[in-house]
Amino acid sequence: MNTMAEARLQTQKKSSQDGQETSLWSSGFGMKLEAVTPFLGKYRPFVGRCCQTCTPKSWESLFHRSIMDLGFCNVILVKEENTRFRGWLVRRLCYFLWSLEQHIPPCQDASQKIMESTGVQNVISGRAPGGAGEGQVPSHVRKEVQRILGHIQAPPRPFLLRTVVVPALEEFWAAHTSDWALLCRLFSWALLRFLNCLFLNVQLYRGQMKMVQKASQAGSPLVFLSTHKSVLDGILLPFVLLSQGVGVLRVAWDPRTCSPLLRALLKKLGGLFLPPEANLSPDSPEGVLARAVVHATVEQLLASRQPLLIFLEEPPGVRGPRLSALGLSWLGLVVQGVQAGIVPDTLLVPVAVTYDLVPEAPHDTCHALAPLGLWTGALAVLRSLRRWGCGRRVCVRVNLAQPFSLQEYIIDARSCWGSRQTLEQLLQPIVLGQCTAVPDTEKEQEWTPVTGPLLALREEDQLLVRRLSWHVLNASVASSAVMSTAIMATLLLFKHQKGVFLSQLLGEFSWLTEETLLRGFDVGFSGQLRCLVQHTLSLLRPHVALLRIQQGDLLVVPRPGPGLTSLARLSAELLPTFLSEAVGACAVRGLLAGRVPPEGPWELQGVELLSQKELYCQILLLLHLLPQDLLLLQPCQSCYCYCQEVLDRLIQCGLLVAEETRGSQPACDTGRQRLSARLLWKLSGDFTDSDSDDFEEAEGRYFRLSQQSRCPDFFLFLCRLLSPVLKAFAQAAAFLHRGRLPDTESGYTEQLFQFLRATAQEEGLFECADPNLAISAIWTFRDLGVLQQTPGPTGPMLHLSPAFASRDSQEKLGQFIRQFICS
C-alpha cells in the first residue's frame, strides 16, 4: 500500500486560538471529501477459505489462485457498460434497461405440493404422533395448513421482484399493471434514491463471487449463512446476489425486525417467516402441524434449488446471545432435509456484511432498535435527502466465503468432537483456591435456547446444528473486512483517549492498517491517507472533537460520556484480528501479576522467566473465562491447539523471545531431537495425547518479554483490547454484595447495568457501560456457579450460590478476574 506510507499532513499556515473547536472543513484538510473506494492492489490477503479439517474436499474445490487477482465491483453503480446498449438515452435509462436484463425464474406456487407432502399428510390423517386424527375434522386442518402457510410466505411476484429488488424507472404500462404495481414502482424509485444517499458504494470482491457462481452451477442448492449488522442486510444481500446472476434469494426474516405492513410486502417478495405455533411444545398438536408445514416448505425450497438466506446472528439491537435461535431453527430444517434425502447435498456459503457505520444504529445503547416499517423508511429517506451532499455517506463491503458441502461436514465433523465440561466444573475450584490444575477438557457453553423446529430433532442432531452454526459464524467473522471507522475508534479509545495530534494519528492509522493486513484480515477501504482519515473523522464527528492549535496542527479528542461507548462498539469489529495476541498479552499480565508490581518498569518485567507450561495454563484459564460469543472458537479446534497458536502469535509479533537455560538444548535445534520413543505421525483428531505430550515437552521451555522499544506500548494496546469485557466482569463481581437478590434475570441485568453506568460516570469507564456486557457477565457467572437459577412464581429467579455467598469468595472471584486487566 503505497498511499499508506504517507504519514504527514500539510497544515494551513494560518494559526488560530488554542483550544478552539473547529469544523472539519476548515481544519487544514484542504479539498472537499472524496469518495473512498476499496483498495484494488494485488497484495491483499484472500479471506474466506473453508475449514480444511472438517471439509477437506470442499477446501480443494471451487478455488483457484487466479481468482485472487480479480478486483472489486460496486454493485449499486449501474452504468451504460452494464447494459447491451449504448447511447445518450441509454445513459439515462440504464437502470431500467439493466433491470429488464436480469434473469428471474418463473414463479411457482408450491402450496399444493406442500399440502401433499408426506409430513403434512401424516399430521392431517392422524398417523403422526400428536396429529389431527383424534376427533379433529380434516377439512378444518386443511384450512389451518393454509393459514400457517400464509403466515410463512406468499406466492412470489416476479414482476414485483423486478421493480422492488432491482429498482428502475420503467415505463408506465397502465394497461397491464394494477395500481399496487405502480405504487411498488414508486417505492422502488424512492428506495434507489435512499440507497444512493445512504451509501457511497457497496463493494463486492469478484474472486469470492466467482467461487459462488461456480458453486451454483454444480446443481446443489445454495444456503447463505450471514452475520447480521443491520436491518438493511435482508434487502441489500438479495439485491447484490441477484445482480450477480445467482437468482432470487429467499430470505428468512425475523418478525421482530419489521412492522406488519412491511412483513406483508416482504412475503410477496419471497420472504419467509416462522409461524408462532412452531415454537410450541413438541407434544402440542398445533406445534406439530406448524412444524410439519415449515419442514415441507423448506423441502420444496431445497428441491426447487432456490437459494436461501439465513441470519446466524441476532438482529441488531436485540439483547441476548449472539447466536440466533431463529437462525438455528432454519438451519436445522436444512440439515434435516439433507439427512432425509430431499436433495443429495447443499452448499453452505458464509456471508459477512460490514458498514463504516450501521445506518440505523442508535446513539444510546440503552434503547433497542424499533422495528423497521414503511413509515420509518419514508422518514429515513427524507432525513437522508436532507443531508445529501454533506459527505457523511458510508461504505459497505460484502464478503462471501468459500462454499462447502453440508453432507461432507455431517460425515467428517463428528470425528473432531470430544468430551466437554461446564464452566463450573472447570473454573470454580480454581477461583476458590481449591485446586491449581486446569482440567484438559473443552468448555461447554451454550446460551442460545433450543426453540421452534429444532425441538423435533434428536439431541445429537441439535448438537450438530449448534456446532455447525459456530463454525460458519467463525468463518463469516474471519472473512469480514475491517472498516476505517473500526481502526480509528480503536486508536482513539485504547491509545489516545486524552487526545492525539492529527499528524501522529495519520502514521498510527497506517501502522494499524498494515498490522491488520499482515494478520490475514482484509480492510474495506483505501485511497489517499489524508482523504481516508478525513472521511473517517467525518463519520465519527458526533463522538470526537477537533481542536485547532496554534502550531497549525489539529488535535483529535474523543468526547467523554456515551461517545466512548459508541467507540467501544465500533472497536469491537477489530478485536477478532488481534484476539489471539490480546488473549496472550492478558495471560502474560496474569502470570506476572503475582511477581512484579503492575506499575513496575518494563525492564523489571522482562527479567522474569515465563515457562511455556505456565503460559499454557494461564491462557486456558482466560479462554474458559471469556464467553464463547466473544471467542468464536471453531468446534473442531482444541483449546490446547489454540494455546499454541496464541503463543506462536506472541513470538511472531516480537513480544516474547525464547530463553535458553544453561544445559538445555537450543530451541532452534531440531536435528538432535529424539523421536525414536514417540510416534512420528498421529491422528489429527487425537488432541488429548498429542497435547499432553506437548505439555511434557513444554516444561523445559522458557520465554522472556522482549526489550524492544516498541513492545511496552504494543503490549499495553493488546491488553486494552479485552479491557471492556474484563472490567465489566470485575465490576459485576464487585456488585454481588450490593445487588438485590433474589431477582429475575431481566431485573438483575437492569440493576447491574445501572451500576455500570454509575461507575462510568465516576471513574470514566464508559466503554463498559453496555447492556450486552451486563448480560454476558451475568450468564458467565451463572455458568461459573456464582449465580443459581430456581423457579419462581413470575419465572426463573437468580440468587447467590452458597459457594459465593461470603465476601471472601466474592473477593477471590474479583482477584481472579482483575489479574488479567492491565491498568
- Other beta carbons within 10 angstroms of residue 692's beta carbon come to 12
Long-range contacts, stretch 642-646, CB < 8 angstroms, 24+ apart = 642/580, 643/615, 643/616, 643/619, 644/694, 645/580, 646/580, 646/581, 646/583, 646/584, 646/587, 646/619
Q: What is the pLDDT of residues 55-85, one digit of tens each?
A: 999 998 878 777 777 888 888 777 777 677 7
Query: Which of 128-137, 165-174, 252-261 bottoms out in mean pLDDT, i.e. has the lowest?
Result: 165-174
CA pair distance 720, 716, nearest whole angstrom? 6
Q: Is the pLDDT of residue 685 over 90?
A: no
Instruction: State pTM to two decimals.
Output: 0.86
Q: Is the pLDDT of residue 341 over 80?
A: yes
pLDDT of residue 779: 96
| Of 469 and 42, more confident | 469
Average the pLDDT over 345-349 and give the result: 96
Helix (H, G, I), strand (E, B) or coil at 410: helix
Average the pLDDT over 444-458 and give the result: 85
Average the pLDDT over 109-115 and give the result: 78
| Of 670 and 446, more confident | 446
Identify which of 46-60, 176-190, 373-387, 798-812 has the greatest average pLDDT. 798-812
Cell numbers of 468, please?
455447525
Cα distances (angstroms) measured from residue 729 to each of 135, 428, 566, 800, 821:
55, 15, 19, 16, 11
Cβ atoms of residues 25 and 516 within 8 Å: no
Average the pLDDT over 600-607 and give the result: 68
The phi, psi pair for 125, rounded to 5°, reads: -80, -10
What is the DSSP pairing of strand 250-251 with strand 308-311? parallel
Q: Is the pLDDT of residue 378 over 90?
A: no
What is the DSSP pairing of strand 222-226 with strand 347-355? parallel
Return the amino acid letter for 12.
Q
CA pair distance 398, 172, nearest whole angstrom? 34
Cβ atoms of residues 538 and 391 within 8 Å: yes
Query: Which of 298-302, 349-353, 456-460, 501-505 bottoms out in mean pLDDT, i.e. has the lowest?
Result: 456-460
pLDDT of residue 10: 33
What is the H or E stretch that residue 144 is in?
helix 138-152
Q: Is 614 exposed, middle or buried (0-12, 13-18, 19+ CB in 10 A)?
A: middle
The half-sphere exposure of 38 on its side-chain side, counting CA atoms within 13 A, is: 30
| Of 165 and 778, more confident | 778
Note the residue count of the chain. 823
Q: What is the pLDDT of residues 1-35, one digit of tens each?
A: 333 333 333 333 333 333 333 333 333 333 333 33
| Of 1 and 213, more confident | 213
Q: Is the pLDDT of residue 380 over 90?
A: no
Q: What is the pLDDT of residues 225-241, one digit of tens each?
A: 999 998 889 888 988 88
pLDDT of residue 689: 41
- Other beta carbons within 10 angstroms of residue 510's beta carbon come to 20
pLDDT of residue 39: 43
Interior/surface letters 217-242, b for 16+ CB within 10 angstroms, e for the rest? eeebbbbbbbbbbbbbbbbbbbbbbb
Work out the percent of the chain whose per-residue pLDDT is above 70: 75
Q: Is the pLDDT of residue 386 over 90?
A: no
Cβ atoms of residues 590 and 621 within 8 Å: yes
Report which of 401, 291, 301 is spatially closest to residue 346, judged by C-alpha positions: 301
Cell numbers of 72, please?
472489486
Q: DSSP secondary structure string, 312-347?
A: -BPPTT--S-SB-HHHHHHHHHHHHHHHTTSSS--E
Q: Is the pLDDT of residue 782 over 80?
A: yes
As a whole number, the mean pLDDT across the chain is: 79
Q: Within the chain, how many helices (H) and strands (E) appear?
A: 32, 20
Cα distances (angstroms) measured from residue 294 to each of 297, 340, 448:
5, 15, 21
What is the DSSP pairing of strand 610-611 with strand 404-405? unpaired
CA pair distance 152, 264, nearest whole angstrom? 10
What is the H or E stretch that residue 163 is in?
helix 158-164
